[in-house]
Amino acid sequence: MRRLLFTLVIAMLAAPLPAREWYVNNTFGNDSLSGRLATPKGKDGPLKRIRVALCLAMPGDQIFVAKTDEPYREELSIAGRCLRGLRDMPLVVDGGGATLDGTVVAEQGAWRHAAGDVFAMRPRRLTYQQLFVSGKPLTRVMLASTMGIEQELRPLEWALAEGQILVRTEANRLPDSYDLRHAGLQTGITLYNTHHVRVQNFIIQGFQQDGINAHELVRDCELVNVELRANGRSGLSVGGGSRVTVRNSNSYDNGVSQVRSEGSARIAILESDIDKRSVMPFDQVSGEITVDGEPVF
C-alpha cells in the first residue's frame, strides 16, 4: 500500500501542472488585478501590460492580449527557465490582432527647418529608423546626403541622411501638425534561452532594430499569423543556434531586410508572404532559411 501511494505521489509530481490563462487589456486593465479574468470583477480582471503577464506566467501558460484602439507600447522578453513551454503544451502569447508598437514622439522643438517644406530631427537611436504618421509608415527615400533634399522628397516622404531624419511636409504645414512618431524602442519581442513558445496574432511595428529577435538558445518556437512591418532593421532576426518556424505570417516595409539569419540559425517559413519589392527579403549572413521547404539560397 505504501509503495502504491509513493508511486502515485511521484506520478503527480512528475505530471505537468494544468496551463493557466492570463488576460491583458491596455484600455481598462490594471496591473494590480489578478490577470485571471478578461473583464474586471472585484480584484480579478485583466492586467494592463503584457510584460506583467510574462512575469507571472509559468511553463505552458497562455497569455491572451485584447485588441484595442491603442497599441501596446512596450518591449517584451521571453527568456529563461520559467518562460518556456512543454512539447505538448507550449507557452502561448496570443495578441488577438493587437499592435505592439515601438514608436515614440519627438521631444518638443526637436524638428528644425532644413529647406523649403523639409524639416530635420536627430533621434536618440540613429543606426536604423522608421517614421510613422497616425500609426502608418511613411515612404522612405534612400539618400546619401542632404544636397537638393527638397527636390528629392515628395510631400510625406522621408529620408535618413547625415545623422538626421528628414521629412517633407505638405505645403504650409509644420511637423507638429501631424501625428509623427519614430522608432524609439529597440526590439519588439526578444526570445532567448527558451523553447516550445508560440507567439501568434500580433502586428509588430516601429521598433528601432527588429520586430522579433530570437537571439540564441531558442528551439521549437513558432510565429503564427504575425505581421512584422516597418521595423528599423528587420522584421525577424534569428541568431546563434536558434530554431524558429514561421507560419501564415507577413514581413514587409522593414528597413534593411524582411528576415535575417546569422550564426547557425535555422528559419523555416511556411505559407507566408515575405515582401521582395523594396529591401532584401532575406539577409542570410549565415545559417539556413527555407521557404515552404526550399532553401532561399
pLDDT tens by residue, 95-128: 999 999 999 999 999 999 999 999 999 998 888 9
For residue 291, what pLDDT band results from cuts at 50, 70 and 90?
very high
Contacts of 254 (CB under 8 A, 6+ apart): 211, 228, 229, 230, 231, 232, 233, 234, 235, 279
**Residue 8: pLDDT over 60:** no
Give dist(CA 147, CA 115) in Å, integer: 10
Q: Summarize pLDDT for 219-253 with one digit per residue, the tens.
A: 999 999 999 999 999 999 999 999 999 999 999 99
For residue 50, what pLDDT band results from cuts at 50, 70 and 90?
very high
What integer is the mean pLDDT of 126-155?
90
**Residue 213: pLDDT over 70:** yes
Give dist(CA 161, CA 144) in Å, integer: 6
Record the pTM.
0.91
* SS3 of 241-257: CCEEEEECCEEECCCCE
The pLDDT of residue 7: 43
Alpha helices, DSSP H only, in the chain?
2-14, 50-56, 149-152
The pLDDT of residue 2: 53
The pLDDT of residue 81: 85
**Residue 212: pLDDT over 80:** yes
Residues composing the chain: 297
**Most confident of the following: 16-30, 121-135, 218-232:** 218-232
74: three-class secondary structure by DSSP: coil
Phi, psi of 231 (to 5 degrees): -100, 155
Give dist(CA 25, CA 262) in Å, integer: 35
Q: Is the dihedral of CA 197, 203, 209, 210 positive or negative?
A: positive
Based on its alpha-carbon atoms, the radius of gyration of the chain, rounded to whole angstroms, reads 22
What integer is the mean pLDDT of 22-32?
97
**Residue 55: pLDDT over 70:** yes
The pLDDT of residue 12: 40
Give dist(CA 96, CA 63) in Å, integer: 10
DSSP calls for 33-55:
S-S-SSS-BTTBS-BS-HHHHHH
Q: CA geometry: angle at 177 spanning 143 and 181, to 5°? A: 55
The pLDDT of residue 230: 97
* SS3 of 213-250: EEEEEEECEEEEEEEEECCCCEEEEECCCCEEEEECCE
- Residues 155, 169: contact at Cβ < 8 Å? yes
- Residues 35, 28: contact at Cβ < 8 Å? no
Nearest to 136 by CA among 188, 186, 97, 99: 99
